[in-house]
Structure 1
Amino acid sequence: MDKIYIEGLRLESLIGVYDWERKAPRPLLVDLCLRCDLSQAAQTDKVTDTIDYALVAESLGRVAEKSSFELLEALASAMLDALFAEFAIREITLKLSKPDILPNARNVAVQLTRSRP
């Protein structure tokens, strides 16, 4: 199966369990692996025959901007739901990172993999 990768997508979202996290949006990073059929796009060289990376990024940005989840797991799941609803993707692996949230760790992340329902 073919794959599209988007790595290090920077977004902001109101997310967190603690009161101090709920005062302002936090920076997040998204890494994606989209499994889909890219054979037609490879033949036609037309963006309409592939998954438009910019539209994927916009979709994730909308979900992050509107959300007020406490957990990364919940936000990541909502992002997967949005992508499956909007694009012809067979399987998605999404890693959602919350950098610099722990004083002694560079990053905290969750990774979810889901197939089209």
Structure 2
Amino acid sequence: MDKIYIEGLRLESLIGVYDWERTAPRPLLVDLCMHCDLSRAAQTDNVTDTIDYALVAESLERVAEKSSFELLEALASAMLDALFAEFDVQEATLKLSKPDILANAQNVAVQLTRGRP
């Protein structure tokens, strides 16, 4: 199976368990790997025959902006749900990072892998 990657997508979302986290949207990073069939696009060189990664990024951004989840796990799951609803993806792995949230760590992240329901 072919793959499309989007790495280091910067988003913001109101997310967090603690009151101090919920005062303003927090910066997040998304790394996404989508399993899909790219053979037609490779032959036609036409964007309509592939998954438009700009539209994928816009979709993930919409989910992040509208959400108010407490947990990264819940937001990552909602992002994957939107991905499967909107695009012809067979499987996807999404890593959602919340940088600089712990004083002694550069990053905290969750990674979810899901197949088409």
**Counterpart code for 2:108:** V
Write out per-residue CA displacement over residues 34-93 of structure 1, whole angstroms, 9 at most, x where no aligned residue: 000000000000000000010000000000000000000000000000000000000000
Structure 2 residue 15 is the aligned partner of structure 1 residue 15: yes
User: How many aligned residue pairs are there?
Assistant: 117
Task: Give the secondary structure class of the aligned counterpart of 2:48.
Answer: helix
Work out the CA distance in 2 between the residues paired with 1:62 and 1:32: 16
Give the aligned partner of residue 110 of structure 1: 110
2:55 partner letter = L
> What percent of counterpart residues are identical?
89
* SS at structure 1 position matched to 2:5: strand
4+ residue runs over 6 A deviation: none
**Structure-1-length-normalised TM-score:** 1.00
C-alpha separation in 2, matches of 1:24 and 1:40: 43
Instruction: Please give the alpha-carbon distance, in whole angstroms, between the structure 1 residues aligned to 2:87 and 2:13.
Output: 22
AA matched with 2:56: V
In structure 1, runs of 5+ residues without a counterpart are none
The 5 Å alignment of 1:37-52 reads 37-52=37-52
Unmatched 5+ residue regions in structure 2? none
Alignment of 1:1-117 (within 5 A): 1-117=1-117
TM-score (structure 2 length as normaliser): 1.00
Aligned-residue Cα RMSD (Å) equals 0.2
